[in-house]
Structure 1
């Protein structure tokens, strides 16, 4: 199961970064420097990219504290010698990890054109399960017909998890399942569909053509919201909606392995379908969000 694999990788790499920092203090001088730097970049990488949400996002902060303590211990107990060793392997890994950490914030798409929306979910803490400025943070969406700035949003329960267990086959176990989706903008509903059944996790063989959705056309952009719950869509094509008007509920229809809200925005370009037009980077209530960031009510 990919969920358990990603969680195990997250915890394993976090433990490795602490171990490397612990061991670095007893290494020869050249090895000490590169081992410590490698450990720091590995810790930052897994802090930013790690799938902590599969167990609890609070573990991310626990790991951060533990790594800082291991770094303090490194300075207390370090004993160096001048004996040199080959450092090329660590140098290469350090460069790769450093680049990944920088790209987390910058992405690979340059300076994106943004669109201002109202956050479409209310009453809770939400989490960006997938999102970012292209590669490497949004690698899955990057390959989907220009959806390079699309976002997948889940909801957190009181334990900092998006479900009652690490992985569940029960839709009701997911905190976001059934949450009302509100219109993030004013405009015209150009597509509305809600007859497709919800997938039982992790089955998503029905594919993207069986997604319950609402598509809204604003003044100069089109907003797509997908994976809605079967029978929950409250609007129809041709309706005019205002910001904050209920549209439907979060589900797990179409190409989706677990309940979440998928949202993407494209600029309106004459003669081109909305999904092939220029993608726009979303700002919710004046703030942008990246992979693994929390969306709090106080920020909305």
Structure 2
């Protein structure tokens, strides 16, 4: 848990801060050097803005990153605008420029792969969003591994992990609390995303204390539905023990309560996992016509 917290803070706070401070304070000898370093900082910031999990430190904190980037770009450009386009470089500067160009390519590629995950050409199953008690944050979602780790698992390749955030865009009281009630989504009511038939249920598995997980029962407590006019199966997973309110083979209406969000199964913290699959292969899902992505909010 401690390592996870350090990793999030390191990647999303410390790393961009280092590049922003470097851009602000570096002693550039030419505009070319500045352009390369500025490009690296812009690409890094753009990638983190899109693909970072901002529910840990606050969804709106990522806009502060944009403001600081603009300030650093303007401030540093004012220092270098009168410099020559290029100058002869010694071996040390050549090595530094080589590293910067390498990072420019890497972070540029990250942005390309991230943007490529914004949409899909595959037909999608239209659903109604299954939560309605506040503001919800898409923790994983999209058509790229950089936005959605589920992309690596074919049956769940278009799955969403959904959290709830407060007015500051934070998902819990504390960085990684052990008390389930400190996660804002815990025990929120879950509603059927479509009219259909209940094909599978599990309702007896325990809710776990973060970061405990149960990989042997990956979905935890869950409800599986076959929506009308579709042969795809929709899974809503990690539900609260004993909260499932529907029965096997029951026909449910869209918007009907089916249970509560919990923390059962192979889960790191309370959240809703939802995905649809057909013949064992994950298919895209849309909510009110929207293909939801990491870092989007649903109110």
Q: What is the TM-score when the length of structure 1 is the normalising length?
A: 0.89
CA-CA distance at 1:5 after TM superposition: 1.8
Q: CA offset at residue 210 of structure 1?
A: 6.2
Q: Hey, what's the Cα distance between the residues in 2 that align with 1:199 and 1:143?
A: 25
8 A Cα contact 2:214 2:264, kept in partner: no
Deviation at 1:88, TM superposition (A): 2.8
- The Cα shift of 1:93 comes to 1.4
Q: Judge conservation of contact 2:161–2:271 (CA < 8 Å) in 1.
A: yes
The worse-fitting range, judged by mean Cα deviation, of 221-230 and 73-82 is: 73-82
Are the aligned partners of 2:135 and 2:165 in contact in 1 as well (CA < 8 Å)? yes
Q: Within 1, Cα distance between the matches of 2:78 and 2:199? A: 64
For 1:150 and 1:108, locate their aligned partners in 2 and report how far apart those are by CA, in whole Å. Answer: 14
Q: What is aligned with 1:93?
A: 103
Deviating more after overlay: 13-22 vs 186-195: 13-22
1:230 aligned onto 2:241: yes
Provide Cα deviations, 1:182-233, integer angstroms capped at 9, x if missing partner. Answer: 0001110001111101010000045334610000001222100100000100
- Within 1, Cα distance between the matches of 2:27 and 2:198? 62
8 A contact 1:25–1:75 mirrored in 2: no
1:54-85 deviation line (CA, Å, top 9, x unaligned): 12112111121111111121232224233144
Contact 2:51 2:146 in 1 (8 A): no
State the alpha-carbon separation in 1 of the partners of residues 52 and 167 from structure 2. Answer: 20
Q: Is the CA contact (8 Å cut-off) linking 1:109 and 1:134 kept in structure 2?
A: no
Structure 1: which 4+ aligned runs deviate by more than 4 Å? none
On the 8 A contact 1:195/1:212 being kept in 2, the answer is yes
| Aligned Cα root-mean-square deviation (Å) | 2.0
Q: Distance in 2 between matches of 1:117 and 1:32?
A: 48
Q: Secondary structure at the match of 1:189?
A: strand
Aligned residues: 287
Please tell me whether the aligned partners of residues 179 and 209 of structure 2 are also in contact (alpha carbons under 8 angstroms): yes
> Greater shift after overlay, 80-89 or 192-201?
80-89
Counterpart Cα distance in 1 of 2:255 and 2:221:
19
- Deviation string 1:241-300 (CA, Å, 9 cap, x unpaired) is 111000100000000010000000123xxxx4xxx13x22221111122112222x2xxx
TM normalised by structure 2 equals 0.89
Residues 138-168 of structure 1: CA deviation (Å, up to 9, x unaligned): 12x1333431111100000123210011110
Establish whether residue 150 from structure 1 lines up as the match of residue 154 from structure 2: no
For 2:46, the equivalent position in structure 1 comes to: 44
Answer yes or no: is the 8 Å Cα contact 1:24–1:31 preserved in 2. Answer: no
Find the aligned partners of 1:15 and 1:253 in 2 and give their Cα distance: 37
Residue 16 (structure 1) aligned with residue 18 (structure 2): yes
